[in-house]
Amino acid sequence: MLIETQRDLITLSEGLRTAPYICIDTEFVSERRYYPEVGTIQIATPSTKGEQTVLVDTLAVRDLSPLRHILTSASMVKVFHAPEQDLAIFFRLLGEPVRPVFDSQVAAALLGYSQRPSFRDLVERVTGVRLEKGHTFTDWLRRPLAPSQVKYALDDVRHLMPVYERLVQELENKGRLQWAREEFKRYEKQSYFLPIDERTLYLRLRGAEQLSGKSLAILQELTAWREVTARSENKPRESIIMDAALVDLARRPRKFVRELSEVRGLRAPRIHRPRQKGGKSFPLNSSPLSTFSSPACARSRMSKASRAAYSPIAPMFQPSCSREVGQMCPYSKDGGARPSAT
């Protein structure tokens, strides 16, 4: 079933209120942006007729507020597989975590299946069905959706139902169900979804271990600036400035703005030339880039910019929303860089 109107979404949410659990998945695109854009939300639940599977077209249905009660109802388990990014998306939409959650990947690991079993492997082990990979890199923002795309997306939640029921039974038999529930509680904490601290990201850059003292401090400030800029402009980090360029600038700070044009990996629009008299270039510390000439000043600016860039309450959950659907950021450890399909 395809949900493409507000009325159908309201009808769906009302019908799901008594379900004991629902299986959920999303398909989104994260390339060329910092905030992934959601294309579809898939939901499956058992019913008196066997099962109910629906795909919500989030480009057609602008107001997702009818799903709020479903996603936060304490009496209904929300079942995902490896849900970190999906949950972060919903957190940004709702302003609060989805709860309660069941993660089939963690549950399978507790049962000794493997450390981090893939969904395809888990489905095949439990049901004997081998899921297709045909739409792994599909652009889920293009319309219309082909029937094969809809089937691919719904297959994930359709097969997640028997996986969930099997895992719950095995956890109960081995006395590990409470262990699993304790593990899942981390997903219900707001702190789990807070933005990455931009002032720690420099430690992840290749080459940072070769710097020290002033150079390392410069790298920290430049990396923090890039992170906040990427968030505010909704662009990938490396489209602002490449990792190698950050390390190079930290290792060999440029004195004049004109010298920045020689840095490979620094996009030209990022180079701001202050107005000057007599055709002479001003020193770098008198240009707009002097934001980072003072570590204390930079720390203050980064803190304020970071707070301004993050708002957990997305207007998609307000009836008068005019914001483009899917402009949300799952604050994942990799900044949302992942394949298009989940």
CATH of the domain at 269: 1.10.150.80
Domain boundary (159, 176, 193) is at 193
What span, in angstroms and rounded, lies between the C-alpha atoms of 151 and 164? 20
Locus of tokens 């939409």:
93
pLDDT of residue 61: 94
Q: Please list the pLDDT of the chain residue by residue as tens digits (342 residues).
A: 899 999 999 999 999 999 999 999 999 888 888 888 889 999 999 976 778 999 999 999 989 999 999 999 999 999 999 999 899 889 988 889 999 999 999 999 999 998 899 999 999 999 999 988 777 678 889 999 999 999 999 999 999 999 999 999 999 999 999 999 999 999 999 888 888 889 999 999 999 999 989 999 999 999 999 999 999 999 999 899 999 999 999 999 988 888 888 888 776 666 655 555 555 544 444 333 444 333 344 344 444 444 333 332 233 333 333 333 333 333 333 333 333 444
Domain boundary (169, 193, 217) is at 193
Name 27's bridge partners. 40
Structural domain contains residue 140: yes
What span, in angstroms and rounded, lies between the C-alpha atoms of 299 and 285? 16
Owning domain of residue 232: 198-309
Distances in whole angstroms, Cα of residue 325 to Cα of each of 58, 319, 340: 7, 13, 16
Structural domain contains residue 323: no
Structural domain contains residue 330: no
pLDDT of residue 337: 37
Same domain, 219 and 70: no
Count of domains observed in the chain:
2
Same domain, 32 and 166: yes
Structural domain contains residue 292: yes
CATH number at residue 33: 3.30.420.10
Same domain, 161 and 206: no
What span, in angstroms and rounded, lies between the C-alpha atoms of 102 and 82? 10
Cα separation of the two ends of the chain = 20
Domain boundary (170, 193, 216) is at 193
Structural domain contains residue 265: yes
Structural domain contains residue 279: yes
Q: What is the pTM of this model?
A: 0.74
Same domain, 42 and 136: yes
Same domain, 189 and 209: no
Name 266's bridge partners. 241
Same domain, 124 and 268: no
Same domain, 104 and 236: no
pLDDT of residue 248: 93
Burial label, 341 (beta-carbon count in 10 A; 0-12, 13-18, 19+): buried
Structural domain contains residue 289: yes
Say whether 80 sits in a helix, a strand or coil.
strand
Distances in whole angstroms, Cα of residue 183 to Cα of each of 35, 59, 103, 191, 294: 27, 34, 9, 15, 43
Same domain, 74 and 216: no
Q: Which of 97, 47, 36, 91 is nearest to 337 (CA)?
A: 36
Q: Which of 41, 298, 262 is nearest to 150 (CA)?
A: 41
What are the structure tokens assigned to 198, written together? 């931009």
Structural domain contains residue 316: no
Say whether 275 sits in a helix, a strand or coil.
coil
pLDDT of residue 271: 63
Where in the sequence numbering do the catalytic residues fall?
A: 25, 27, 86, 152, 156
Q: Which amino acid is at 210?
A: Q
Same domain, 122 and 202: no
Same domain, 160 and 271: no
Sheet arrangement for strand 2-3: 2-3, 52-57, 37-45, 21-29, 77-80, 101-103
Same domain, 145 and 245: no
pLDDT of residue 320: 32
pLDDT of residue 227: 94
Same domain, 75 and 174: yes
Phi, psi (degrees; rounded to nearest 5) at 101 = -120, 145
Burial label, 188 (beta-carbon count in 10 A; 0-12, 13-18, 19+): middle
